[in-house]
C-alpha cells in the first residue's frame, strides 16, 4: 500500500481527488486542509509527517483568488511561495515525491501557439509571480513534479462555470470577453490524471525527481466560447454577448493567450485527455444526475 497525502482537500481539485480515490485501492490517502495541517508552518508539516509518513504528497493548496491577490500580496506569497518552499524542502529531506499544482499565469500570455514546459516565464500578476516563486523553490530543492493547469472548474467551490450558471439565471444577457484564449480544465479529469501519474511512478519504482508538465483539457476556446457552451448545455436561454478585454476591466491582468501543449504529459504517462467540450458535457451529466 502506497501512502499519499493530499493538502488543500476542500478545494476543487482536492475534492475531486477525494471523490475518485476509491478507484485506486493500491493507494492509502490522507486528506488534509488547514484544520488538519497548516502548510505555512514547517514545524507542523514535520510533526504531521512524523505521525503520518507518506511516499507521495499532492499539494492542491494555494491562494487562487487572482484579483484579490493584487491587494493581498503577503498572503498570496505565504501560501503559493513560502509554504511550497517548505513542502519542497521537507519532501527532499524525507525522500517523498511532491506533486505541486501550478498555473498558466506564470506566462505573460503573449504567445500565439501552445506553451511548452520550457518556454520563458514572465508572470504579469501577483498571483502568477507568487506561483512562479513556488515553482522555483521546487527547482532549487531538486524535487517535485509541477503540473501547470488552467481555467479549472468542478462541482465544488467557485469557478467560471458556476458563475455563468448563476448569472444566467438572474439576467437575460451577459457580456463575456472574446479576445482571451485558453483551455478549460475539468478538475475531475485532472484528478484522474494525477492519480494515474502516481500509479505509474509506483509501477516504475521511480525515485523522487523534479519535472514540469502541462495539463488542461484538449482544444482551445475564448471565455466567450466557453460561456456560450455552458449556456447551450444548461439551456437557460441567456444571451452571451462578446466584448473586448478593454471593456471588461479586472484588478489583475488576464493572459491574452494561455493554451498549453500537453504532448509531454500524454507521451510520458500515456494519458488520454478529453476535449474540453466532452468534459463540459460530462460535468453537466454528473450534476444533473
Spatial separation of the C-alpha atoms in residues 38 and 179, rounded to whole Å: 39
Q: What angle do CA 107, 213, 64 make, to 5 degrees?
A: 55
Spatial separation of the C-alpha atoms in residues 101 and 203, rounded to whole Å: 22
Spatial separation of the C-alpha atoms in residues 204 and 104, rounded to whole Å: 29
Helix (H), strand (E) at residue 70:
none
Q: Which of 69, 94, 85, 199 is nearest to 138 (CA)?
A: 85
Q: How far is CA 173 from CA 119, 181, 242, 250, in A?
A: 38, 21, 11, 19
Q: Which of 264, 156, 188, 175 is nearest to 227 (CA)?
A: 175
Spatial separation of the C-alpha atoms in residues 66 and 48, rounded to whole Å: 30
Residue matched to cell numbers 507568487: 130
Spatial separation of the C-alpha atoms in residues 187 and 153, rounded to whole Å: 6
Catalytic residue among 115, 127, 153, 224: 127
Spatial separation of the C-alpha atoms in residues 124 and 284, rounded to whole Å: 33
Residue matched to cell numbers 488520454: 272
Q: Which of 45, 62, 64, 58 is nearest to 17 (CA)?
A: 58
The sign of the torsion formed by the CA atoms of 223, 229, 230, 232 equals: positive
Catalytic status, residue 105: no
Enumerate the active-site residues. Answer: 127
Amino acid at each position: 500500500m502506497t501512502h499519499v497525502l493530499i493538502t488543500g482537500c476542500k478545494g476543487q481539485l482536492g475534492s475531486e481527488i477525494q471523490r475518485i480515490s476509491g478507484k485506486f485501492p493500491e493507494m492509502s490517502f490522507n486528506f488534509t486542509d488547514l484544520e488538519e495541517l497548516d502548510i505555512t508552518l514547517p514545524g507542523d508539516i514535520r510533526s504531521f509527517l512524523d505521525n503520518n509518513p507518506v511516499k507521495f504528497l499532492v499539494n492542491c493548496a494555494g491562494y487562487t483568488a487572482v484579483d484579490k491577490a493584487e491587494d493581498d500580496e503577503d498572503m498570496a506569497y505565504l501560501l503559493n511561495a513560502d509554504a511550497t518552499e517548505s513542502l519542497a524542502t521537507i519532501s527532499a529531506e524525507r525522500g517523498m515525491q511532491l506533486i505541486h499544482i501550478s498555473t498558466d499565469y506564470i506566462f505573460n500570455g503573449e504567445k500565439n501557439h501552445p506553451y511548452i514546459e520550457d518556454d520563458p516565464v514572465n508572470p504579469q500578476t501577483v498571483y502568477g509571480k507568487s506561483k512562479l516563486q513556488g515553482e522555483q523553490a521546487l527547482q532549487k530543492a531538486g524535487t517535485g513534479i509541477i503540473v501547470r493547469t488552467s481555467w479549472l472548474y468542478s462541482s465544488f467551490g467557485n469557478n467560471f462555470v458556476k458563475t455563468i450558471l448563476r448569472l444566467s439565471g438572474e439576467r437575460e444577457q451577459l457580456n463575456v470577453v472574446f479576445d482571451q484564449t485558453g483551455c478549460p480544465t475539468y478538475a475531475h479529469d485532472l484528478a484522474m490524471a494525477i492519480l494515474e501519474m502516481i500509479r505509474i511512478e509506483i509501477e516504475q519504482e521511480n525515485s523522487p525527481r523534479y519535472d514540469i508538465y502541462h495539463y488542461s483539457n484538449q482544444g482551445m476556446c475564448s471565455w466567450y466560447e466557453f460561456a456560450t457552451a455552458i449556456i447551450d448545455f444548461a439551456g437557460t436561454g441567456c444571451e452571451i454577448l462578446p466584448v473586448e478585454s478593454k471593456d471588461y476591466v479586472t484588478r489583475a491582468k488576464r493572459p491574452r493567450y494561455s493554451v498549453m501543449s500537453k504532448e509531454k504529459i500524454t507521451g510520458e504517462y500515456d494519458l488520454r485527455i478529453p476535449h474540453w467540450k466532452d468534459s463540459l458535457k460530462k460535468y453537466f451529466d454528473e450534476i444533473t444526475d
